[in-house]
Amino acid sequence: MPLAEAVPNPYQPSLVRIHDFSDETRDVRTLRLQFVDDAEAGSFAGWEPGQFGQFTVFGAGESVFALANAPWRPNGDNGSAPTIECTFRMVGKVTSALRAMSKGQVIGFRGPYGNHFPVGDWKGKDLVFIGGGIGMAALRSAMLDVINRKEEFGEVVILNGARSVADMVYTEEMPAWQEVDGVRVVRTVDPGGENEEWNGEVGLLPNVFEGLGLDPEGRIVIACGPPIMLHYLFLSLGKVGYSPDQVVTTLENKMKCGIGHCGRCYVGPFSVCRDGPVVTWAELNELPKDY
């Protein structure tokens, strides 16, 4: 067979329907999507936390979002067909068009792309998830995967930070995470972002993290947030004795193709969509500061 006929079109998406959504904040929404064609759902089932997808609003364009729900485990509780969840902030043309869509409407999805969090390597270890703002969306899948089988892991601390109380995501589901034995949720807002009812922490994420005084021994830190947050978080982590291979993050470079061709997401020789997006702090130290 000629080469090209054997090559599927990597850019043609699957059709997925907006089954449901919840509004996290005034500009952040979480979508629950179902494949229009069950056969396509089957071939999608093997994805892992940390991977991402390209979501198409036909007529507007594509946007990259992390796959935010727990991965589909055939023997787990999620017996139904695999679904996709993504949390996005309305910030540009595509996300504004997506925000305007309603239940039942069809969008495009292609993926999963990229590498994933090494959740299997974390068994028996204490874990800290640190998410800044919408950065929580990229951690949610790994976090839910861990919470769903908490007995396989050690102590879990979830640090959810936002600019202000109104900008905090996943507020409705956080109490349920907290109820799982051995899971502790810490919420924090930037100074000035609190209001009268606020009963969480006030402070920048790196400072709040330091204040928790978590012993680095046997602990893995999984962090995602804006570049400036990561910069200061790494300084804090170094200060309190974490080594770079104990810290995992996920890069959020601008991407278009998702398959390592368009050249946009390079950090030196590292193509974020193809070689990442998940990297350890140690791996990041080997790359030029170009993210």
Partner 1 sequence: MDSSWKLTDAQLREWLSGLIEGNSVVAPVEEDGVLLFRPIASEDQAIVKPSGKTRWSPKEFLFPRSEALYRYNFKGGSVQLEDPSLPEGHQVLFGMRSCDASGIVRLDEIFLSGTKDRLYAARRENTTVVSTACAAADPECFCTAVGYSPVGEEGSDVQLVPVGEDWMLRALTDKGRNLVGDAGDNWAEATVKDEKEIEELEKTVAGQIERSPVNREWSQVLEEGFEHGAWDRLAQHCLGCSVCAYVCPSCSCFDMNHDANAFCGEQCRSWDACTFPLFTHHASGHNPRETRQERYRQRVLHKFAFREENDEPFRCVGCGRCVALCPAGLDIVSTVAAAVEAIREEGADAAR
- Which residues would be at the binding site for partner 1 (CB under 8 A)? 2-5, 7-13, 15, 56, 58-63, 91-92, 95, 104-106, 108, 226-227, 252-254, 256-257, 259-269, 274, 288-291
Report the Cα 18 to chain-centroid distance in Å. 19
Sheet holding 28-35, edge to edge: 61-66, 52-57, 106-113, 14-23, 28-35, 83-89
CA angle 32, 82, 256 (to 5 degrees): 65
- Shortest Å distance, C-beta 16 to partner 1: 11
Residue 96 token pair: 């504004």
- Shortest Å distance, C-beta 38 to partner 1: 16
- Shortest Å distance, C-beta 132 to partner 1: 12
Backbone angles phi, psi at 289, to 5 degrees: -80, 85
Residue given tokens 């995470």 in the structure block:
177
SS3 label, residue 202: strand
Number of alpha helices (DSSP H) and beta strands (DSSP E) in the chain: 9, 15
- Shortest Å distance, C-beta 36 to partner 1: 8
Tell me whether residue 33 or residue 265 sits nearer to partner 1 (CB atom). 265
- Shortest Å distance, C-beta 187 to partner 1: 22
Torsion of CA 232, 205, 162, 125, to 10 degrees: 110
- Shortest Å distance, C-beta 140 to partner 1: 18
Tell me whether residue 3 or residue 39 sits nearer to partner 1 (CB atom). 3
Is residue 155 within 8 A of residue 217, CB to CB? The reply is no
Tell me whether residue 165 or residue 265 sits nearer to partner 1 (CB atom). 265
Tell me whether residue 12 or residue 80 sits nearer to partner 1 (CB atom). 12
Q: Which DSSP category does 188 fall into? A: E
